[in-house]
């Protein structure tokens, strides 16, 4: 039996982003695998678009 583990295409470790003094993203850790569908879902204003920028 073989295990198919997708390699990470995008990764971030301890990522932070500020709009002026506003701390929009706080210590984000994420691994996005290659060749997989990934969705960012959540309420308005939670940082989805900021993360993708």
- Residues 7 and 25: their CA atoms lie apart, in Å, by 25
Residue 46 within any structural domain of the chain: yes
Query: Does a structural domain hold residue 27?
Result: yes
Task: List the pLDDT tens digit at each of the 53 positions of the chain.
Answer: 555 566 888 899 999 999 999 999 999 999 999 999 999 999 998 889 998 88
Look at the pTM and tell me if it is higher than 0.75: no
Q: Does residue 35 fall inside a structural domain?
A: yes
Dump strand ranges (E) for the chain: 8-19, 22-33
Distance separating alpha carbons of residues 52 and 46, to the nearest angstrom: 12
What domain count does the chain have? Answer: 1
Q: Is residue 1 a part of any domain in this protein?
A: no
Residue 37 domain boundaries: 8-52
Q: Rounded to whole angstroms, how far apart are CA atoms 53 and 40?
A: 13
């Amino acid at each position: 039996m073989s295990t198919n583990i997708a390699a990470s295409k995008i990764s971030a470790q301890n990522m932070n982003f500020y709009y002026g003094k506003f701390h929009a993203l706080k210590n984000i850790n994420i691994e996005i695998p290659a060749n997989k569908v990934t969705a960012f879902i959540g309420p308005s204003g939670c940082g989805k678009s900021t993360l993708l920028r």
